[in-house]
Amino acid sequence: MNAPVNPLQQTKQLGQSIWLDNLSRTLIHEGGLKKLIAEDGISGVTSNPAIFFNAISKSPYYHRDVERLKAANTPAEPLYESLVIPDIQAACDLMRDEYDRTQGRDGYVSLEVSPALAHDAAGTLAAGLRLKAAVQRKNLLIKVPATPAGLIAIEELIAQGCSVNVTLMFSLAHVDGVAQAYLRGLQRLIDSGGDPRVVKSVASLFLSRVDTLVDKQLDSLGGDALKLRGKAGVALAKLAYRAYQKTFQSDAFTKFATHGAMPQTMLWASTGTKNPAYSDVLYVESLIGPQTINTVPDATLAAFRDHGKATATLETGMSDAEVHFNALAKAGIDMRQVGETLQAEGVVLFEQAFDQLLKLLA
């Protein structure tokens, strides 16, 4: 009897990478991450302060190092970095085969700069370069928010040959701003004689949080507006992918590609469904397409493995996505403002998670 086909592996065959939105020493030391790579084709890892708070507070593999570093009176933030940098290095090493096989197009691990720097371009740049030097892995992505200050830092990091995962994107305006920052950085890197072939950037668009806020606004309107609920996140991703194609699959990008530069890759983030009325694989099944990434939390990964269907869906329904955005606008929903609100909230949430983490380690 043939073994059932793994939809995660099928998704990879359709050109989309599945990354894990989680990391801990338990996953590394007990072989969980290695198994996910081998059996499910997981080809990248994303992390953030909330993920590391959960890891450090629950996994027994940190206790000895925490006690040792506290005994040495190590301040909380350097202590945190001393704990997580080895985890990032170990994950990078596990992903290195994929990185080599794809010639640097996949197989990355993300490490976020301090959320306290979200509005500090110079501080973000310095932290990003310092973390890159500390990790010393080619397949590291420095994670930077798409705030106005973050865009300045992203351009500079790219110009200095540092690979970047841009986080906290919630709108088409964010998608465009991040793409332009990447292109400016590439141009500066090339102009200075740098090698763009070693630079990777992914643009992480958050989805479920968009539906949560838009649905709340639609609920307050009532009537026909209620029919629009639960569709904004997927529509946003489809329109963002169309914008990606216009920017990176056009003649305008040729001047960069001739130097070996890679297109920035769209990454679907916040893909765990928050509303139980919606499918638990909504933000995976609806957005499968080539040259994209979906980073999934453990529960969504398990759900898609169990009952997900892998078919090429990302490029279908583009006109429906546009119609939906127009209907939202007609109903009075300002999607650009939704994006700004969610980004501001996201920065606060990441800052709170980081503060909680530092208190744990103080």
- Which pTM was predicted? 0.96
Question: 206 - beta bridge partners?
Answer: 269
> What pLDDT is attached to residue 78?
96
Distance between start and end Cα atoms, the chain: 56
Low-confidence ranges of the chain (pLDDT < 50): none
How wide is the angle at C-alpha 194 spanned by C-alphas 188 and 196, nearest 5°?
A: 85
Where residue 15 falls (left for φ over 0; alpha for ψ -120 to 50; beta otherwise) is left
Our answer to whether residue 132 is catalytic in this structure is no
> How distant is the alpha carbon of residue 142 from its chain centre?
11
Alpha-carbon gap, residue 86 to 178, rounded angstroms? 29
How do beta strands 201-206 and 265-269 pair? parallel
pLDDT tens digits along 84-109: 999 999 999 999 999 999 999 999 99
Residue in 12, 34, 35, 143 annotated catalytic: 143
